[in-house]
């Protein structure tokens, strides 16, 4: 087995800084680069709260009404069951929306009504007056009723008679991630060659990886995000890695994973867990930084390094999960990394990535409102790649 430990390659670029504050900038302040292209300021996508921010991201990603057969819904209050949902949403060409546990937010309800297809015809209605499920749009709920209640599921069905639901859940967050991976295998008819492995108790590393796992350019099969404990790998995760994955819907076969990216340092995923995985798969790569911001920056460096630089970036807060979680499929489609910041500060590690790629970046998006990512931090990011 081959071992590779990825660390932040441009760490030497990190400057000693407590806080960057730059004036707000506009594209008019910036001169064109060789070739005539001019870097642009970041576009902010946000709503009044995390639920509405997810709706605005859905609108940006899928602006046409009644075009989607599927939507994916996860808890906006708890990350436990939601971490693995991003690549599933991309695989189903579906928006990723958020809900409260006990009630469906009005903004989410309206977005489901807007985005989901309305294909009811006379042949779609059965004798009992219900819509034949084959003609219904489907909302895929990821997580058990402790995350998204049966009441929410019923509220979804009450939106329109041609909207149905299905639920993917396991006994815990690790089993739920496994069930998502297996369902993705069923959809494809085969297992992905690559996978991410992240700590299931901490959201930041999986959150940053969602943009990569959801990017068909970097990984045409779309990578499952599997979860582990720090010091022991759950049976469900070990089963997927080493024993059984489903192909063609039901046939058990070895998953034949070629590569697993282990996210975070040893405080997140221990050496023992790393070594266990390394005995099973062909190649095990640890992607880590000194903190969540460094790990996100190093993920960006690993997948969008000098040989494959990203021209657009996503920026989201790293001390809360909701905005970046909903934005994973969006950044996957936009083929750019998800970088993490603090609400009022640009971390050293994120700055280092921006500085190392300032000539490659031409713009991108801030995901979340000014309380999540302040205008000062937005301006700081822009000032680095605009070279102001």
On whether residue 184 sits in a domain, the answer given is yes
The answer to whether position 221 is within a domain reads yes
The pLDDT assigned to 280 comes to: 86
Looking at the domain assignment, is residue 90 inside a domain?
A: no
Instruction: Please give the pLDDT value at position 99.
Output: 97
Q: What is the total count of domains within the chain? A: 1
Give the closest residue to 291 by CA, choosing from 205, 356, 351: 205
pLDDT in the model for residue 10: 44
Beta strand pairing status for 137-142 and 163-168? parallel
The boundaries of the domain holding residue 226 are 2-59+173-385
Q: What is the CA radius of gyration of the chain?
A: 21
Reported as type and span, the H/E element at residue 140 is strand 137-142
Residue 220, pLDDT score = 82
Q: Is residue 299 part of a domain?
A: yes
Smallest CA-to-CA distance from 92 within 183, 163, 219, 195 is with 183
Structural domain includes residue 306:
yes
- Digitized pLDDT (tens) for each residue of the chain, 388 residues in all: 555 455 544 443 333 333 444 445 555 566 666 555 789 999 999 999 999 999 999 999 999 999 999 999 999 999 988 889 999 999 999 999 999 999 999 999 999 999 998 765 544 555 555 555 566 899 999 999 999 999 999 999 999 988 999 999 999 999 999 999 999 999 998 888 899 999 999 999 999 999 999 999 888 889 999 999 999 999 989 888 875 444 434 444 455 688 999 999 999 999 999 999 998 888 999 999 999 999 999 999 999 988 889 999 999 999 998 888 899 999 999 999 999 999 999 999 999 999 999 999 999 999 999 999 999 999 999 999 998 7
- Residue 335 falls within a domain, yes or no? yes
Entry field: residues in the chain: 388
**144 falls within a domain:** no
Residue 82 lies in a domain: no
Decide if 139 contacts 164 (C-beta within 8 A).
yes
DSSP label of 222: -
Q: What is the DSSP secondary structure assignment for residue 256, as one 8-state letter?
A: -
H or E segment and range at residue 174: helix 173-188
Cα separation of 173 and 167, whole Å? 14
Question: Helix, strand, or coil here: 288?
Answer: coil
């Amino acid at each position: 087995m081959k071992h590779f430990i990825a660390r932040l390659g441009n760490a030497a670029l990190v400057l000693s800084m407590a806080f960057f504050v730059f004036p707000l900038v506009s594209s008019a302040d910036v001169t064109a680069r060789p070739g005539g292209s001019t870097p642009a300021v970041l576009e902010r996508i946000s709503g009044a709260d995390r639920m509405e921010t997810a709706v605005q991201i859905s609108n940006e990603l899928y602006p046409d009404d009644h075009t989607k057969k599927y939507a994916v819904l996860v808890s906006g209050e708890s990350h436990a069951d939601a971490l693995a949902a991003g690549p599933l949403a991309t695989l189903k060409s579906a928006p990723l929306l958020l809900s409260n546990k006990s009630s469906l937010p009005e903004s989410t309800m309206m977005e489901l009504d807007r985005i989901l297809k309305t294909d009811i015809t006379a042949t779609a209605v059965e004798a009992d007056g219900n819509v034949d499920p084959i003609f219904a749009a489907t909302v895929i709920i990821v997580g058990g009723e402790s995350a998204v209640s049966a009441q929410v599921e019923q509220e979804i069905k009450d939106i329109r008679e041609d909207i149905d639901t299905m639920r993917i859940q396991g006994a815990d967050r690790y089993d739920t991630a496994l069930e998502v991976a297996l369902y993705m295998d069923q959809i494809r008819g085969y297992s992905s060659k690559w996978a991410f492995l992240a700590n299931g108790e901490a959201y930041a590393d999986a959150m940053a990886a969602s943009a990569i796992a959801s990017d068909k350019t970097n990984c045409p099969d779309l990578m499952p995000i599997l979860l582990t404990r720090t010091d022991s790998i759950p049976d469900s995760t070990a089963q997927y890695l080493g024993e059984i994955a489903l192909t063609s819907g039901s046939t058990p076969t070895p998953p034949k994973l070629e590569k697993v990216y282990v996210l975070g340092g040893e405080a997140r995923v221990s050496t023992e867990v790393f070594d266990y995985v390394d005995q099973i798969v062909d190649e095990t790569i640890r992607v880590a930084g000194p903190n969540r911001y460094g790990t996100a920056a190093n993920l960006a460096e690993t997948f969008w390094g000098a040989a494959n630089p990203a021209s657009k970036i996503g920026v989201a807060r790293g001390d809360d999960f909701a905005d970046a979680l909903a934005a994973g499929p969006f950044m996957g489609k936009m083929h750019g990394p998800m970088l993490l910041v603090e609400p009022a500060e640009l971390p050293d590690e994120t700055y280092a990535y921006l500085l190392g790629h300032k000539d490659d970046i031409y713009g991108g998006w801030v995901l979340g409102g000014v309380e999540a990512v302040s205008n000062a931090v937005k301006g700081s990011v822009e000032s680095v790649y605009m070279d102001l």
